[in-house]
């Protein structure tokens, strides 16, 4: 499994021979100006919730690639009504896709579209790939529900928001990694706006002091699991 950071909460995932884009917010992010959304491959687009900083580039990417948009029922329905391919899910449900098993799990946040449409309830995803399993938290507070995830899935990586203000901060993300029984963390949802700027070295040190590994990727760079 290969995971590429496209800035903010945007990810590319190569798994099972398929390309997945998660929460694309790239074209308006000045830190990601070197990423061309027209070069991104996508068989699927996973959306954690409907906020503008997670869906900005969905339609441009889906129109070009014909990717299947996977999200909660309301978000999938919103794009389905616009003629895009979609797959509706809801909390606690899993589906065996051709790239692996995907579960939609709880997040504590909100989820309205920028145009005011109802975006259902926000979530995160657990992906069980051929050899590795990951959790993408989406925008969320620390929640006890995270303890449920390792009861079903042994995680190799947890992708957690760490920017504070709208989501968990670093300290809560450290507790989350305990709940998730996963000491390998990819941080996201930081630095994009003034509200969520973080001190990188300090954040990495805080995780290190608890025996955990926080990775902060340059935008456009990848990790192989
Ligand atoms: Ni949000
Ligand atoms: Mn957000």
d(CA 34, CA 12) in angstroms, rounded, equals 15
Instruction: Give me the chain's average pLDDT, please.
Output: 98
> pLDDT, tens digit, for every residue of 7-48?
999 999 999 999 999 999 999 999 999 999 999 999 999 999
Percent of the chain past pLDDT 70, that is, above it, reads: 100
Please report the domains of the chain, with CATH numbers, ordered by start residue.
2-219 (3.60.15.10)
Q: Is 194 exposed, middle or buried (0-12, 13-18, 19+ CB in 10 A)?
A: exposed
Please report the pLDDT score of residue 39 as a whole number. Answer: 97
* 173 three-state secondary structure: helix
CA of 54 to the centre of ligand 2 (A): 6
**How would you write 138-150 as a 3-class SS string?**
CCCCCCHHHHHHH
Per-residue pLDDT band at 128 (split at 50, 70, 90): very high
The stretch 70-89 carries a mean pLDDT of: 98
Please report the pLDDT score of residue 14 as a whole number. Answer: 98
- Torsion over CA of 191, 9, 139 and 14, rounded to 10 degrees? -150
Per-residue pLDDT band at 68 (split at 50, 70, 90): very high
> pLDDT, tens digit, for every residue of 77-86?
999 999 999 9
CA of 109 to the centre of ligand 1 (A): 7
The stretch 101-127 carries a mean pLDDT of: 98
Q: Is 188 exposed, middle or buried (0-12, 13-18, 19+ CB in 10 A)?
A: buried
CA of 131 to the centre of ligand 1 (A): 30
Identify which ligand lies nearest to the alpha carbon of 51: 1
> pLDDT, tens digit, for every residue of 43-64?
999 999 999 999 999 999 999 9
Three-point CA angle 107, 205, 141, nearest 5°:
15
H or E element that contains 42: none
With CA atoms as reference, report the closest residue to 47 among 34, 35, 61: 61
Q: Which residues pair with residue 114 across a beta bridge?
A: none
């Amino acid at each position: 499994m290969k995971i590429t950071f496209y800035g903010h909460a945007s990810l590319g995932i190569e798994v099972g021979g398929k390309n997945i884009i998660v929460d694309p917010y790239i074209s308006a992010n000045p830190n990601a100006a070197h990423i061309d959304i027209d070069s991104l491959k996508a068989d699927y687009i996973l959306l954690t919730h409907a906020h503008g900083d997670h869906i900005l580039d969905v339609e441009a990417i889906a129109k070009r690639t014909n990717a299947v948009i996977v999200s909660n029922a309301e978000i999938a329905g919103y794009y389905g009504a616009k003629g895009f391919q979609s797959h509706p899910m809801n909390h606690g449900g899993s589906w065996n896709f051709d790239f692996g098993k995907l579960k939609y799990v709880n997040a504590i946040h909100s989820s309205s579209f920028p145009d005011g449409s109802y975006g259902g309830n926000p979530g995160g995803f657990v992906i069980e790939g051929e050899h590795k399993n990951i959790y993408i938290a989406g925008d969320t507070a620390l929640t006890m529900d995270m303890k449920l995830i390792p009861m079903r899935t042994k995680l190799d990586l947890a992708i957690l928001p760490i920017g504070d203000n709208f989501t968990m901060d670093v300290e809560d993300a450290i507790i989350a990694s305990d709940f998730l029984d996963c000491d390998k963390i990819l941080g996201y949802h930081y630095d994009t706006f003034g509200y969520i700027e973080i001190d990188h070295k300090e954040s990495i040190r805080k995780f290190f002091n608890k025996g955990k590994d926080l990775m902060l990727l340059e935008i456009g760079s990848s990790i192989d699991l």
